[in-house]
Chain A
Amino acid sequence: MVRVNRSALLYVLALGSCAFLLFQLYYYRNSGLVLFSVQQVVRSFLSAAHSCRLPVFLIDVAALNSISHNAPGHHHCNFLCSRPITAFGLNAKHWGHDVMGIFNVILSGEDPRLVGLDVSGDQVPLHLLLRRHGNIIQLVFFVERGGGFLWHGGLRLRPDQDRTFPFKHLDYGRHQGAYDRLDLVLTVLDGLDVRVPRNVTHFLLEQRHAHFLECGYRDARSFLQLYPQDLGPAALDFRRKVQTLLQISVQTLGLIQVPFWISSGTCLGWLRQCGVISYSRDVDIGVLVQDFRPEIVQVLTASGLRLKHRFGKVEDSLELSFLLDDVKLDIFFFYDDGDVMWNGGTQARTGRKFKYVFPRFSLCWTLFLELKVRVPCETLDYVRANYGDGWSVPVATWDWKTSPSNVLDNGVWPVDQWEEVIQVF
C-alpha cells in the first residue's frame, strides 16, 4: 500500500514539474526576456542614438580587440556578445538637452574646459549608463579640449547611486582619459551599422595609457596668491619660449614615437602653479633610456634647436641639451633600477657624475600651456623626491649638484672616456 502511494507521489511530482516547465516557457515567451541578448540591447541603443542623431562610436575594448584580431566572420554574433557590458563614445558637442529623457543614468560633472577659471557653468554629462535586462551600455562623452585632444571624465559616484551596479567592470571611467582626435569609419559588425575608430590598434594602444590628470588649479591659485606671478615682459617672453620648446618637443618626438614627460623645474611649475616658473630659465623633460633613438638629435635640430651638449652614454647617465634662442631644453634619460628610477648628471669641468633617484612612477597625460603632455602620475612623490618637502616654497637660487634632495654622488668619469661622455658644442 505504502509502495503504491509513493509511486503515485512521484508521478504527481513529475506531472507538476512538467506543467511548471510549460508555464515557464510560456512566461518567457511572453516577457520576451530570453530574446534579449547583448546584441538586441546594442541594436536598440544604436537605433535610439540614430533617431536622436547622436553619432556614437564603439570604443569597447573587448569588441575592438576582436576586430583587430580577426576579420568579420560568418557567426551570428562575433564582436558584440563577448561581455554584457558594451562601451560607446560620443563627442560631447553633439549632445543636446532634448534627448536626455530616454536614458536612465547620466553622470555629469564640472565642465573641464572651465576648470581653472573663476567661473562656473552648467554641469556637462560625462558618462551615461544604460541598463537593460542585465546588459549594460556605457556611453562615454568625449570633450574637445584646448590642446587639440579629446578628454573624458572619471566616474564619480554619488551617494545615492545604485551600489549593485558593476562599476568595476567598466572599461572607462576609473580615471579621466585623454585621446587624440578620432577618425571614425562606419562598418558593419554582427549585422549592425557601427562607427569605429579608423585605426583600431592605435586606439587600443592609447586606451591603455590614456590616464589624464587635471592640473590642481585650486592649489595653484592659492600658491599664486602667496607668491604672485611675474607678469613682466621678460617673464612673458620666457613663457612663450617654453611653450614653443614644448610644442616642438611634442611634435617632433611624437613623430618618431619617443614618449617624454615634463620633469624637474618644469614639472614643479606644473604641480605648483599650473604654469612656468619664470626664473627657472630652462625646460626639462624626461625620456626612458630604452626609448632613446639617435634620431632625437636630428629631428630636434631640424626644427631649429641647436645641440648644446651631450653628457654620458646610453648605458649610463645620458643627458642631451638643446638651445632655442637663449632657452635650454634638457632631456634627461631615466634608468630603471628595480624599485627606483634614476637619471644622471655630469659636471663638464670636473667629470664628476651625479645620480638623481626617484621612486617608481607611471605616466599620465595632462594639459600644460595648452599642450597635451605627459607628467609622472605620482607627481607629488616625484617632485618631493626632487625638491624635498619644501617644494611648495619658491627658491630662486638653485644648484643642480647640491640642492636636489635626491642627488647622490656617482663617482667620476674615467678621463679616457671624457671625449665621449662630455661633449660640449
Chain B
Amino acid sequence: MESWTPNPRAKPFIPRTQRSLYLSWKYKLTNRRTLRRTCQAGAVLFLVVTVIVNIKLILDTRRAANEDQAPEYEDPGGPQTPRRPVHGRRVLDIEVYSSRSKVYVAVDGTTVLEDDMREQGRGIHVIVLNQASGHVMAKRIFDTYSPHEDEAMILFLNMVTRGRVLIFTIKDEGTFHLKDSARALLKSLGSEASLGLSWRDMWTLVLRKGGQVYGEKHSKSPALSTWGDPVLLKTEVQLTASEEAECQWADTELNRRRKIFCSKVEGYGSICSCKDPAPIEFNPEPLQNNKVSNIPVAVIAGNRPNYLYRMLRSLLSAHGVNPQMITVFIDGYYEEPMDVVELFGLKGVQHTPISIKNARVSQHYKASLTASFNLHPEAEFTIVLEEDLDVSIDFFSFLSQTIHLLNQDDSLYCISAWNDQGYEHTAEDPALLYRVESMPGLGWVLKKSLYKEELEAKWPTPEKLWDWDMWVRMPEQRRGRECVIPDVSRTYHFGIIGLNMNGYFHEVYFKKHKLNTVPLVELRDVDRLKKEAYEEEVQRLLREAEVLDHSKDPCDDSFVPDSEGKTFVMFIRMDTETDTGTWTELAKCLHVWDLDVRGNHLGLWRLFRKKNHILVVATPLSPYSWRKPSSVKPIHLEPPPKEEPAAVEQM
C-alpha cells in the first residue's frame, strides 16, 4: 500500500476493551483464514495423536500388570506325577495270572509284573495300585513257603492305606507257612478262599482295601506232588476321583513333599497317615563346636528304598546333622529311592550302572566319591554311609571329636564308626577308641587327599570283579596306615538283603552288633590315638593287665573271672600273618567276627568280656609278645576237622 485511504465500508471503530477475548481471537482468525485453518488442523492432529498414544499406553500398562500377576513359569525340577484327566470315572482292566512257573499282572494291557524266572519269586506277589490313577505304588513278594514271611506280609498289608487296590497272586507255592493270622487278615479284606488255601494251590485276588472284592480265583492242587491248574483272573476296577485318594494335610512345603510321595508309593507306614502322619523333618539338636557340619555326607544306595528310608530317618535324627550336605547316590535310575530322597528334601544323584555284581558296587562307589568331592570342592573330607546302616544319635558328635586326627596323624587313613568286633557282649565303653589295621567301612570318613592322590586313579576298573573294600584294605592301598574306631559302634548294619548278605549271615554276624544309644558321649583321650601316644597307652595297658589263667579252656565261661572293670591279657599262638587258626577258633567261641582277621593293631585285639577289658596278643607275631611271662604257654586251638564255611565278605 502506497498511501492510506479510508475504507468507506469499514465498520465503525469500537474500542478493544469492549470486545470479548473470544471474539477478538475469532476476529483475528477470520481475518487470517489460512493461518486459522492450519491451526485448526494442527490442533485436531495433536488431539488424535494424543488419543492414540494414550490408548496404547493404557494397553501397555494393562499388559504389564497382567505379566506381573501371572507367573510365566512353573518349576521344572520338581517331581510331577503324571496325572490322567479325572473328568468322569475311569475303569481299569486287570489281568492276573497264577501258576507254578509264572505269574503276571497286567493293568490296562500294560504288564506291571512278570516273573517266569526259574527258582525265583516263590510265594505271594502283592501289588498295590493307586485307586485314582491306577499307578503301581508297591510291589512285594512274600515267600510264605518259608517261615515268618507271612508276618512281614501282615505288617505290609496293615500299612497300606484304605482305599488302595490290592492284587495278589501265587507263584509256585505260597501256603506252607501261611499262618492262620495271615489267612484271617486276607479273609477280613474280602477273600473267600484264604482259609481254604493249601499246598501248591494257585490263587489270584483283586480287591479294594476296605471295600469291594473285584475278583478271586482259586484252583486246588489235586495231589501233594502236583500243582493246581494255572488260573487267570480278568476283572475291572472303577477308579475314583483323585480327591478321594488324597489326605487333606495342611498346605506346607513339607506336606507338599509328603503328598507327592504318598501319591506314588505305598508301604512306608504312618508317613502317609491322613490323621497323624509321621514327621519327615526331625530338627535334632545342633552340636556345640561342630567340626563336621560342613563336611559332605555321601549315602551310597542301590534299589532298596525301604532301607534308604530307615537310614535317612536315623541320619536326619542324629545330633548336629546338616541336611544340606547330604547327597544320596543311587546306583541306577530307580524311581522309588529317588522318591524317598525327595520326601526328605535331600539331594539325590543317580548313577548309570557300570559292570556287574561287586564290580558294579565298586564302580558306584568310585563315581559317588568323585561326585561328592566335585559337588563340594572346598571340602577336605567326605563322610561315607550306606543305605542299610542306622546311625547313632551321636554319630556326628563322634566324628566331630575325632576328625582332626586325620589331619594331624599321617599314620591314619580313615575314621570309621564301625567296630568289627563290637558285639553286644564284647563292646562296653562308648567313650573308648581304638586303632585298627583293617578298614572297617560302614560309616567312615575319607580324606580328599587320600582319594584324589592315591585311590581314585588306580581304583579297580569295571572288568575287575573285586570288592572295593577288600581292595582298599590291601597293603598297596593301606601302606601301613590305620583307622580309628570306637569300641561301641556308631552305626548298625540292618540290611538283610544285599549282594553279599542273607538272613542267616545277618543273624550270625550283624544282628547282635552293638549300637551306641547314649547322646553326646565325650570321647576319652582322643589325642592319645596318635601313633606314639597310642603305643604308650597300649604298653601301659599291657603292663597293668593281669595275665589270665592259660591252663583253662578259653571257650569256657570261667576263663574270664567274674570281676568287673579289670584289664586282662591273654596270649594266643600265631606264628605268621597267615597262621590265623587259633584266632579264628577263639573268635568263634567268643561269637565275634571270625571270617577273616579283623580289628587288630599289631597283633593285638582289644575287646570286653563280662565288663572286663581283654587284650589278646598274637604270639610271637605281635611286637607286644615280649610281655608274655615265660611260664605262660600261648593258647593254641586247632580248627575242627570239618570243612570251613565258605568265606563271605561283608557288604
Contacts and interface: CB of A to CB of B under 8 A. Distances in A.
Contacts of B44: 10, 13
B610 interface: no
B67 A131 contact: yes
Given A113-B375, A144-B377, A100 B75 contact: yes
Contact of B457 (A97, A108, A119, A231): A231
A70 interface: no
B6 interface: no
B297 to A, nearest CB: 15
A13 B51 CA distance: 11
A105 B73 contact: yes
A114 B329 contact: no
Interface in A319-349: none
Contacts of B347: 121-122
Contacts of A131: 67-68
Contact of B76 (A14, A31, A108, A121): A108
Q: Looking at A108, A119, A236, which has the most chain B CB atoms within 10 Å of its CB?
A: A119
A250 to B, nearest CB: 16
A7 to B, nearest CB: 7
A192 to B, nearest CB: 21
Nearest to A33: B61
Contacts of B452: 370
A275 to B, nearest CB: 10
A50 interface: no
Q: Looking at A98, A108, A122, which has the most chain B CB atoms within 10 Å of its CB?
A: A122
Contacts of A31: 61, 65
A27 B377 CA distance: 54
A24 interface: yes
Interface residues of B, number: 49
Nearest to A122: B77
Interface stretch (B116-124, B349-357, B508-516): B349-357
B215 interface: no
A239 interface: yes
Nearest to B79: A122
Contact of B68 (A108, A132, A144, A236): A132
Contacts, number: 106
A17 to B, nearest CB: 5
B382 to A, nearest CB: 14
Q: Looking at B72, B347, B350, which has the most chain A CB atoms within 10 Å of its CB?
A: B72
Given A98-B253, A105-B72, A123-B76, A20 B50 contact: yes
Interface stretch (B12-20, B366-374, B401-409, B531-539): B366-374
Nearest to A13: B47
B345 interface: yes
A13 B374 contact: no
Contact of B350 (A33, A119, A148): A119
A16 B44 CA distance: 12
Given A122-B77, A144-B378, A27 B350 contact: no
B461 A7 contact: no
Contact of A106 (B75, B345, B352, B368): B75
B390 to A, nearest CB: 26
Nearest to B46: A17
A377 B67 CA distance: 39
Contact of A121 (B350, B378, B453, B458): B350
B506 to A, nearest CB: 30
A117 B371 contact: yes
B111 to A, nearest CB: 27
Contacts of B345: 97
A145 B377 contact: yes
B64 A134 contact: yes
Given A27-B58, A104-B71, A104-B73, A10 B374 contact: no
A236 B350 CA distance: 28
B348 A122 contact: yes
A183 interface: no
A168 interface: no
Contact of A114 (B57, B61, B374): B374
B450 to A, nearest CB: 14
A108 to B, nearest CB: 6
Nearest to A4: B26
A117 B367 contact: yes
A133 B349 contact: no
Contact of A7 (B26, B253, B370): B26
Interface in A14-31: 14, 16-17, 20-21, 24, 27, 31
Contacts of B377: 113, 144-148
Nearest to A24: B54
B458 A231 contact: yes
A27 B54 CA distance: 11
B354 A236 contact: no
Contacts of B26: 7
A10 B44 CA distance: 8
B325 to A, nearest CB: 10
Contacts of A104: 71-73
Nearest to A98: B253
A119 B329 contact: yes
B348 to A, nearest CB: 7
A397 interface: no
Interface string A66-110: 000000000000000000000000000100011010001110100
B270 interface: no
B72 A133 contact: no
Contacts of A147: 377
Nearest to A11: B22
Contacts of B24: none
A104 B73 CA distance: 6
A132 B64 CA distance: 7
Nearest to A97: B345
B68 A133 contact: yes
A271 to B, nearest CB: 21
A118 B54 contact: no
B43 interface: yes
Contacts of B158: none
Interface in B315-374: 324, 327, 329, 333, 345, 347-352, 354, 367-368, 370-371, 373-374
B40 interface: yes
A106 B72 CA distance: 10
A162 interface: yes
A51 interface: no
B30 interface: yes
B64 A120 contact: no
B61 A118 contact: no
Interface in B24-44: 26, 30, 40, 43-44
A6 B453 CA distance: 94
A231 B58 contact: no
Interface in B430-464: 452-453, 457-458, 461
Given A111-B375, A119-B371, A134-B64, 17 more contacts: A3-B30, A10-B44, A24-B57, A33-B61, A33-B64, A93-B324, A97-B345, A113-B371, A113-B377, A117-B367, A119-B367, A120-B350, A122-B77, A123-B76, A131-B67, A133-B68, A231-B458
29 contacts: A7-B26, A10-B40, A10-B43, A10-B44, A13-B47, A21-B50, A24-B57, A33-B61, A105-B72, A111-B375, A113-B374, A113-B375, A117-B374, A118-B351, A118-B367, A119-B350, A119-B352, A119-B368, A119-B371, A120-B349, A120-B350, A122-B348, A123-B77, A131-B68, A146-B374, A146-B377, A162-B72, A231-B458, A370-B452
Interface of A: 3, 6-7, 10, 13-14, 16-17, 20-21, 24, 27, 31, 33, 93, 97-98, 100, 104-106, 108, 111, 113-114, 117-123, 131-134, 144-148, 162, 231, 236, 239-240, 370
The 8 A-B residue pairs whose C-beta atoms are closest, nearest first, are A121-B349, A118-B352, A113-B374, A119-B351, A146-B377, A104-B71, A105-B73, A123-B77
Interface of B: 26, 30, 40, 43-44, 47, 50-51, 54, 57-58, 61, 64-65, 67-68, 71-73, 75-77, 253, 324, 327, 329, 333, 345, 347-352, 354, 367-368, 370-371, 373-375, 377-378, 452-453, 457-458, 461
